Structure 1
């Protein structure tokens, strides 16, 4: 990367256009710009990685604070080397009746509940993983689902096809259907419905003794001591393979930055057998604001 940047790209004229390959906020790198177009001159003047420096310093900058790579990255790298049929974006997603939902869940299908964390917490199918469709849905789903999973989508009316399409874009073509009727079906499957506890920061002092605080943010989000003291750090993208590092005998409180990823992580942990899991509404930002208010 150093050689490509310093020995090739930075030798080009300043007016040479630079078109980004990845967007800001993705797991493809740290500190990605949200600019849609730039040029070599602007990058030379403003990009810290373009400043003159020894190779060792560059390597240190690039390898520090990078987000954990979602598991689907490796899967997609392999899929991209194969010939595959084209995706038909108009293919209908099969509706499942309550009886078919029950049978699919009994057969091992994974329910992906695409509603908001607030709606998910009020009631959801047991073992469902909550990945909100209004967030970074596909990337996050690729962090917590296995490529071989049979997926059953639960979405707000009219949004199941969007969910299936976005999953297919990262190589997850195994959406077997959607829960017809969405949340309304929950009343017809009462024995398969559960709710989720969420903690408001105002009740932070009510945490049970021995609670494990789990931080699922990326490493770069924790720089400058922006951490809750004593929190265990397992990035969300690593949680599927590292969840057994958490003690099963103690309650777990999950937090992220703002409260969206924590619902994903908490639902994943419950689906993997952790039965005393709560997540923090508002995440680290809410906790930090509480700490600031307490010092005034």
Structure 2
């Protein structure tokens, strides 16, 4: 297959690790030039050293509108334009064993990064795309699609990203700007461990492993998802194969949000007498 994104410029926030890094690597493979935005300066600069001349790093806190504006200006100055914006940066926040223990101490930071960062990134990218169109891909989570306990600020922020994506897709369609959303689930990244590690008196790694085991047990497809699965979807939504797609949410979760497969009759046990 020809390089689908050859000659195009992309920005990936939270691009130094996890889903973001996989996306950066896949975009480069497909011919794009990429600006990586991240708070982790060391990881971002190391990534640039590793991946070569078609990638640049910009230290960026997406919760800061001025820094996001500077990021987009940097990409345009370095590579001459902007065709694809991937709003991937996100944080989990603290996990409490009960909602009654929730103190909302991290609410503002979680919403500032996960929601305002996406909104600001979308706005600044769209301002550069009005003349020639483009694609904006917002990374949400199945935590924003499907209800569940724990990390409620995170879940609320990701649900808001879904609705924002659909609303702004309607607004920007007249400029030929497509805005879509990816909602991953069941993909091993540092985000889950960062949340479970905040539980006081608990082994965060053990809790994360139990959550992953639960996901694996209830996921219809038994194949473990990878960051590369998300990266492939970004390439699709960023290229010309998706020119008639906007305002959609693509779940990449092995079928988790479709529902739990019902038990076969022969698997059911007779009730105790």
TM-score (norm 1): 0.30
The structure showing larger relative contact order (alpha-carbon pairs under 8 Å, at least 6 residues apart) is: 2
> Which is higher, the Rg of structure 1 or of structure 2?
1
Greater helix fraction, Structure 1 or Structure 2: 2
Q: What TM-score do the two structures reach when normalised by structure 2?
A: 0.31
